[in-house]
């Protein structure tokens, strides 16, 4: 506790992230006491497996929000990429070609958003909103009915369960290739943001774009790059989600951009930019995932309460962030 208190006192921007970790721990303790079977291997496995796409999207939004921007297109990118991927796979395309199309289409959406924002001075909200409508419309043009992967499709391998620990009865610790990919995304993102010049530029742009330019940092390239990263990660999230469920639809991903933003904010990423951590966003995604688990376990709480509780938690963290940034100012 003393070490945590010292960390918060020396770097107040870590307070929201520490609070998110505390909330996650409190939810685990409450769930174990109220419902039981929370602190066990299969619950942890399901929490990770079911939220791999959200973890990747939260990382994507972390990059964008750190620069003071926003990306509303990631949910639509997932819809378009997943529908296109399933249709191409069923048409007999090579799996690697399908992956390139799914991830590459996300990168292309992100590149267009970045160019509009940096070189045409379009507000990030408007630029990515336009990409959101474009992606959803293209997905609807491809298909308006659920598309299902063939049972023998190699893309289904991404959702294959791998037993890590053989526990008693059904209490096994299992992972999937999708979980491994999500963990790799987190590790690479952490390295880029905290150990590279690009990462330092991302934080500097969020602090003051003009100051970053005066310091000689590559502001134009980095502003475009963060949206390319966001779109690329959305394409990866589409692969993970589609491979796990084996289906795709034009309405897939509606509202997921808001879930990703909520996860990033709950994890300590400040909406005005410059402050935030990849690992905090992962914690935020797990908080949202665990909240759904607890509501399902309870059985008496209506599903509509999920959005209400999410909104309440988000409001608390926004106020907490405001207090922190005001103190730093």
pLDDT digits (tens, 9 = 90+) for 294-327: 888 877 777 777 788 888 888 887 777 776 666 5
Please report whether residue 6 resides in a domain. no
| Helix, strand, coil in percent for the chain, rounding step 5 | 75, 5, 25
- Please write down the long-range contacts of 140-146, taking CB distance under 8 Å and 24 or more positions apart: 140/250, 142/80, 142/83, 142/84, 142/87, 142/250, 143/83, 143/87, 143/249, 143/250, 144/250, 145/249, 146/247, 146/248, 146/249
In a domain, 5, yes or no: no
- pLDDT value of position 38: 82
Q: Taking a C-beta distance cutoff of 8 angstroms, is the pair 127, 252 a contact?
A: no
| Cα diameter, the chain | 62
Tens of pLDDT along 245-285?
Answer: 999 999 999 999 999 999 999 898 988 888 888 999 999 99
Q: For residue 66, give the CATH number of its domain.
A: 1.10.3470
Residue 324 in domain? no
| Domain extent at residue 25 | 13-302
Residue 15: per-residue pLDDT:
72
Structure letter (DSSP) for residue 247: E
Return the pLDDT at 126.
Answer: 96
232 membership: H or E segment, kind and range: helix 219-245
Counting as low any pLDDT under 50, the low residues of the chain are: none
In a domain, 43, yes or no: yes
* pTM as predicted: 0.93
If you ran DSSP here, which 8-state letter would residue 46 be given? Answer: H
Three-class secondary structure of residue 63 per DSSP: helix
Residue 56 domain flag: yes
- Torsions phi, psi of 215, nearest 5? -80, 0
Cα separations (Å) of 12 from 19, 269, 275?
A: 12, 13, 10
Query: Residue 174: enclosing H or E segment and its boundaries?
Result: strand 173-175
**Distance between CA 52 and CA 284 in Å, rounded?**
13
Residue 310 included in any domain: no
Q: Which residues pair with 121 in a beta bridge?
A: none
pLDDT at position 10 is 57
**pLDDT value at residue 325:** 62
Two structure tokens written together for 228: 């390319």
Percent above pLDDT 90 for the chain: 63
Structural element, H or E, at residue 276: none
Q: Does 329 fall in a domain?
A: no
The Cα–Cα gap between 103 and 155 comes to 13
Q: Structurally, how many domains does the chain consist of?
A: 1
Beta bridge partners of 165: 173
**What is the rounded CA–CA span in Å between residue 147 and residue 249?**
6
What's residue 37's pLDDT?
A: 78
CB atoms within 10 A of CB 207: 15
Burial class (CB in 10 A: 0-12, 13-18, 19+), 154: middle
- Does 320 fall in a domain? no
């Amino acid at each position: 506790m003393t070490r945590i208190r010292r960390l918060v006192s020396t770097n107040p921007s870590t307070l929201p992230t520490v609070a998110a970790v505390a909330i996650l721990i409190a939810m685990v303790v409450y769930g174990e006491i109220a419902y039981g079977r929370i602190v066990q291997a299969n619950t942890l496995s399901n929490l990770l497996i079911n939220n791999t796409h959200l973890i990747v999207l939260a990382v994507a939004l972390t990059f964008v929000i750190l620069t003071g921007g926003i990306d509303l297109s990631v949910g639509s990118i997932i819809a378009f990429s997943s529908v296109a991927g399933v249709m191409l796979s069923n048409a007999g395309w090579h799996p690697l070609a399908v992956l390139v199309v799914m991830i590459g289409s996300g990168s292309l959406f992100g590149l267009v958003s970045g160019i509009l924002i940096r070189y045409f001075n379009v507000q990030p909200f408007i630029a990515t909103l336009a990409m959101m409508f474009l992606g959803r419309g293209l997905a609807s043009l491809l298909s308006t009915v659920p598309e299902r992967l063939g049972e023998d499709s190699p893309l289904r391998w991404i959702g294959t369960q791998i037993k890590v620990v053989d526990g008693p009865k059904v209490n096994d610790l299992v992972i999937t290739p999708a979980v491994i990919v999500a963990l790799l995304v987190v590790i690479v993102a952490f390295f880029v943001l905290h150990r590279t010049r690009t990462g330092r530029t991302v934080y500097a742009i969020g602090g003051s774009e003009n100051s970053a330019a005066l310091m000689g940092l590559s502001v134009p390239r980095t502003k475009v790059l963060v949206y390319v990263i966001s779109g690329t990660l959305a394409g990866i999230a589409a692969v993970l989600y589609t491979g796990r469920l084996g289906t795709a639809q034009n309405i897939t991903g509606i509202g997921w951009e808001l879930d990703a933003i909520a996860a990033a904010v709950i994890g300590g990423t400040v909406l005005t930019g410059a402050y935030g951590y990849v690992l905090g966003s992962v914690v935020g995604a797990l908080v949202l995932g665990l909240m759904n688990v607890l509501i399902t376990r309870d059985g008496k709480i209506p599903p509509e309460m999920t959005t209400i509780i999410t909104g309440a938690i988000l409001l608390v963290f926004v106020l907490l962030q405001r207090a922190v940034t005001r103190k730093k100012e």
